Structure 1
Amino acid sequence: MNDTEYHQIVDEVFSQLEEAIDDSGSDIDYEIIGNVMNLEFDDRSQIVINKQEAMKEIWLASKSGGFHFSYVDEKWICSKSGSEFFSFVKNECDKHAGEAIEWDE
């Protein structure tokens, strides 16, 4: 994939994530500045998701550590766990919020 395709795909991921958070009714604040999306929780903890254009990856940092996601068969897959991006983010949000958050992936 070229740089333009990469940015289009990741921008869509960010949009889907924003929509999922909005639709969930959860109290997660989010902000996108440049290539970085920050999710902030009531306890002020954060999940930071950013584009890594040079690697064509999405990187995520949370209480659990740092994770890299590569685009495989039209899904973003974690190099450490093999988890799909949206499922992984939901699990991390549950941990940060201290409760299960209901949202569609």
Structure 2
Amino acid sequence: MNDTEFHTLIDDQLNSIEEQLDECDADIDYEVAAGILTIDFANGSKIIINRQEPVHQLWLATRTNGYHFDYVDGHWCDDRTGQRFLEILNKACCDQSGETIVIN
């Protein structure tokens, strides 16, 4: 994958998350600055999603762990476990908010 393809994939993923957070009824806020998406929860915890251009990865930081994702067969997959990004993100959002949040 070249840099242009990488940026397109990341931008599409972040835009999709933003759109779905806008429609979500949960008590959360988010901010995008310099390509970093920060999701803030009512309890003060955060989730941070950002791009790592040198290694063409999507990174996710949650209250309990940090994850690095490679783009494999049309999905962002954890480079250690193979678990998909959205599965981990949804679980972290639910755990940190105490509410059901589903991002597709």
Shift of 1:39: 0.5
Q: CA deviation at 1:35?
A: 2.2
Tell me the distance in 2 between the aligned counterparts of 1:81 and 1:68. 10
What's the CA shift for 1:62?
Answer: 0.9
Tell me the TM-score normalised to structure 2 length.
Answer: 0.92
RMSD (CA atoms): 1.2
- Shift, 1:38, TM fit: 0.4
Q: CA deviation at 1:104?
A: 4.7
- TM-score, with length taken from structure 1: 0.91
Any stretches of 5+ residues in structure 1 without a counterpart? none
SS of 1:19's equivalent in the other structure is helix
Aligned residue type for 1:2: N
Question: What is the alpha-carbon distance in structure 2 between the residues aligned to residue 31 and residue 67 of structure 1?
Answer: 20
Distance in 2, Cα, partners of 1:20 & 1:78: 22
Task: Name the CA distance, whole Å, in 2 between partners of 1:99 and 1:27.
Answer: 9
Question: Which residue of 2 is the match for residue 86 of structure 1?
Answer: 86
Which letter does structure 1 place at the counterpart of 2:10?
V
| Pairs aligned (count) | 104
Q: Identify which range, 7-16 or 22-31, moves more after superposition.
A: 22-31
The answer as to 2:99 corresponding to 1:99 is yes
Consecutive unaligned residues in structure 2, runs of 5 or more: none
Give structure 1 regions of 4+ aligned residues with deviation exceeding 4 angstroms. Answer: none
Letter in 2 for 1:38: T
